[in-house]
Each structure stands twice: as C-alpha cells, then as structure tokens.
Amino acid sequence: MRSSPTRAEVERSLQADRRPAQPAPTTSVPVVELRNVSKVYDGGSIGLDRVSLGVERGEFVFLVGPTGCGKSTCLRLILKELEASDGQVLVSGRKLGEMPRKKVPRLRRNVGVIFQDFKLLPNRTVYANVAYSLEVIGESRQSIRRKVPSILRLVGLSTKLHNYPDELSGGEQQRVSIARAFVNHPPLLLADEPTGNLDPETSIGIMQLIYRINRTGTTVIVATHDREMVDKMRRRVIELESGRVVRDQRSGRYRPDESTSEFAIRLRGELGVGVEGHPN
C-alpha cells in the first residue's frame, strides 16, 4: 500500500501547480523571406546584391533608401513579377523560384498591392473598380455585393460608390486603391510609395488607414521616401543602398541618428546649396 504524501511533498506539488506552464516550442514561418537574393537586370545593373531578410506575420515594415536602391525590386520579387538571379525568395514558406506559372495567380490573390499612381480603371465607378478585383478571382455576385460596400465604409468612401476616378481627389483615389487591395483580406499587403503623390495632410490619413489594416493582423511592407511618416510611426525600418541592406532597425527612423554636421550636409544637398552657402 502506498503511504500518504508528506507535508513537504504536498508543498512542492502546490508550488509546481502555481508555476506558469511552459509554452510548447513553436516554429514561425516568415510571411516573406529573402535568402541571399541577388537580382541583376539585363544590361548589368544591380537591383539587389545578396540580400537576406525575413518579415514575420503581422509586422509593419518600411523599406527606405534612395531611388534605385532596390525597394521596388524587392516588392516585384515578392509578387513574382521578377525572378531572382541568385538566392531564394519565399512567401509563407513557398519557394517562388520553384513555383510553376500556373500557380502565380493564386499567390497574387493572397497579396494586396497599393501603387503610387493608383492604377484605377478610369471608365469604372469606385464600386466597380473594387468589385473588379473580386470578379477576376471568381467571387460570386452575392459575395461581391457584401464585401465591396463593407470595405468602402472602412476606407471612408461609402458615399462615393458611384463616382468615377476623375471625380475624386488624389487621397480619395488612393483610398479606392487601398480598398481594392484589401477587399479580399489578404495576409500580406505591399505598398509602393503610397503617399508619393499626396500632400502631407492627406498622407497622414492614408498611413493611418494602412496602419488600421495592419492592426487586423495583415503583414504590411511599405516602400517609401516619406521621411516624416517613417519618423512618426517608428516601425521596423530596413534601409537599402545600392541593392544591399545597410540597416535593419526595430522602431527605426528614416535615417539613424545623425550628427549636426551630417544633418547640415544632407540639408544642403536637398536644397541644392553648396558648402559656401551658394546654389550648386
């Protein structure tokens, strides 16, 4: 017969029960991963040079850097609009280099894209522009009638359903573009200079909207030159230069902290003023 537990054994058991359970180990597959990726264009210009990075589910990431540094190349590789010259591009663990062409449309159905120049159909209404993105993937009319008004309410355009693009402001056109990109609730949203053609006040509203989408769990990658917006939002910043990652910073700024002299040099360059204070 087993003897009754001692008081010491009971106390040890109670202490063990009070300890928090250890979570089971989990392995998270990045939504986007580039493994030592290079892209060389016809003619020899380098788009990316041995870039490795990973973006986890639900992250909000800014890609920054000068024109031609490789930001748009990254986005086009993720969409499989381009093929890597070397290395591997993975989306949700799938190697795009091994993906047959017939499966590319399915990949793109799970990736929303926002463009700088909106890319709206000029002869279709706001409603029809958003509905079109569902029609091409075979959504039923009933589903379209339910989803389109809902997403247009989210982006603040519920009263503009029957307007055409040329009847909208730039900010409103970009909101239509966002609605079209997100109407199917893709797990990944790519934005290529989404505020590039907008005034500062309108840009704030657009970025607030993209941030709200990110808060629903969608992974967001934004390629941008919008220094003010990056500095305000303080999300993860990946800086590219000449096709290489030169900085990957959590809660980053458009530029890392710079000295007064570095700021003065940059400001003179942006204003086109020489060292002596004269225009170049």
pLDDT in tens, 189-233: 999 999 998 999 999 999 999 999 999 999 999 999 999 999 999
Using pLDDT thresholds of 50, 70 and 90, give the confidence band for residue 1.
very low
**Whole-model pTM over 0.75:** yes
pLDDT in tens, 119-153: 999 999 999 999 999 999 899 999 999 999 999 99
Q: What is the pLDDT at residue 205?
A: 93
Q: What is the pLDDT at residue 27?
A: 57
**Cα gap 122→110, rounded to integer Å:** 25
Q: Which residues have CB under 8 Å from 230's CB, separation 6+?
A: 62, 64, 224, 237, 252, 253, 254
Query: Domain spans of the chain?
Result: 31-110+189-197+213-273, 117-185
pLDDT in tens, 173-201: 999 999 999 999 999 999 999 999 899 99
Span 31-110+189-197+213-273: which CATH code? 3.40.50.300
Among residues of the chain, what percentage have pLDDT more than 70?
Answer: 82
**Cα gap 27→24, rounded to integer Å:** 10
Q: What is the pLDDT at residue 262?
A: 59
User: What are the structure tokens assigned to 70, written together?
Assistant: 């490789």
The region of weakest confidence among 22-26, 83-87, 214-218 is: 22-26
